Amino acid sequence: MNPKPKIRMTSFEVLRKITSEIYADSIMTPRAEFTCCEPEDLLEEKLETMKGKFDALPMFQGTDLNEAEIHEYLTQENADRKIKQGYRYCKEACSKIEEEDKIPEDLPVELLFAKLALRKNKAKVPLFLLDENNQVAGLITVADLDKVAVKMYLFALISELELTLLKIISSDYHKLREVCKCGYCIEARERRKGKVYPDKNLEEYHYLYLTEIIHIILKSESLCESHRKVKSIFQSNSYGEIDTLRNAVAHPKPIVTDDFPLEKLVRLHNLIRDAIALCKSSD
């Protein structure tokens, strides 16, 4: 009896497989851990609770959070505005949960970013996850995007773009050697290794990082079809932002900050996906 053939996977393929199976319920804050408000709670007290901790709080009615229905939420912005207008209670400042604020528990994280892209001006409003009974089972806020599962997904996506573009570079590298010797790439190596490589090592494209690969593609005068497609995506965008994102997902620090808002994260995510799809469509 012949043994079954062994299936070998690269570390990247393993990572991509794992991250393709990440769903919204694996990064949500579950209902049992909610910090909530009730209709008769005082706005000023809840605003103090929220400052520096929560952008929004779900509102429920009843004595048992696990059984109560949740249809509204309170944001810091609304609470502050209503207090200044003379209102006192949470029920006077809450907003209704709209359809665009709801997602299923089994939504893949990849589609989560597509959902975020559709929610204009609602970065601080949670996404509410619905269970099979159409009840709120959990929520996702900007803070949840810093969880390990999301960072793994983004790192795998950036790595896939890097490998895809590197494949393009390697297939046409003899035409790109001069570009690879430009000051940008040499300086990048010097920063990374502390020295300038001799010419023979400049030909080794496996030393290139993603931003250098994109730089070479943008500067190349000899463009195959794949080059032209990628260039059409990146030429109007700051590809250095992708390096900033890579550093954020590789370290224990927040991804979304004042300098790197949610809108930029969603835009870069979609940019990377589009670039990968364009490259693969021409294979």
CA 1/CA 6 separation, integer angstroms: 15
Q: Which of 93, 110, 142 is the last residue of a domain?
A: 142
Q: What is the pTM assigned to this prediction?
A: 0.77
User: Could you tell me which residue, 87 or 69, shows the higher pLDDT?
Assistant: 87
CA 16/CA 23 separation, integer angstroms: 14
Q: Over 50: is that where the pLDDT of 194 sits?
A: no
Q: In what order do the strands lie in the sheet with 70-75?
A: 56-60, 70-75, 95-96
- Token pair, residue 29, equals 């804050």
Overall size of the chain counted in residues = 283
Residue 19 has a pLDDT of 77
Residue 107 has a pLDDT of 93
Residues 155 and 240 in one domain: yes
Residue 249: closest CA among 161, 150, 164, 165: 150
Residues 128 and 152 in one domain: no
- The DSSP code for 190 is H
- Token pair, residue 96, equals 């209704």
Burial class (CB in 10 A: 0-12, 13-18, 19+), 53: exposed
Given pLDDT bands bounded at 50, 70 and 90, which one contains residue 202?
very low
Structural domain includes residue 108? yes
Residues 115 and 192 in one domain: no
Residue 127, beta-bridge partner list:
140
**Interior angle at CA 149, CA 144 and CA 155, nearest 5:** 110
Residues 92 and 159 in one domain: no
Residues 115 and 169 in one domain: no
Residue 30, beta-bridge partner list:
138
Looking at residues 114-131, what average pLDDT do you find? 86
Residue 72 has a pLDDT of 94
What ranges in the chain are assigned the alpha helix state H? 11-19, 43-50, 76-84, 109-118, 148-171, 177-180, 183-193, 199-202, 210-219, 225-234, 240-249, 262-281
Burial class (CB in 10 A: 0-12, 13-18, 19+), 152: middle
Residue 4 has a pLDDT of 42
Residue 53 has a pLDDT of 85
Q: If residue 214 lies in a helix (H) or strand (E), which one and from where to where?
A: helix 210-219
Q: Which residue has the tokens 């209670």?
A: 89
Q: Which of 96, 120, 142 is the last residue of a domain?
A: 142
Which pairing describes strands 127-130 and 102-104: parallel, antiparallel, or unpaired? Answer: parallel
pLDDT, tens digit, 9 for 90 and up, residues 152-180: 999 888 888 877 777 766 665 555 555 55
Residues 62 and 187 in one domain: no
Structural domain includes residue 13? no
Within 8 A by CB and 6+ apart from 133, the residues are none
User: Could you tell me which residue, 83 or 211, shows the higher pLDDT?
Assistant: 83
CB 80 within 8 A of CB 56: no
> Domain containing 87 — which CATH number?
3.10.580.10
Q: If residue 152 lies in a helix (H) or strand (E), which one and from where to where?
A: helix 148-171
Given pLDDT bands bounded at 50, 70 and 90, which one contains residue 211?
low
Q: Which domain holds residue 175?
A: 148-281
pLDDT, tens digit, 9 for 90 and up, residues 80-115: 999 999 999 999 999 999 999 999 999 999 899 888
pLDDT, tens digit, 9 for 90 and up, residues 222-260: 556 656 666 777 765 566 788 788 888 888 888 988 888
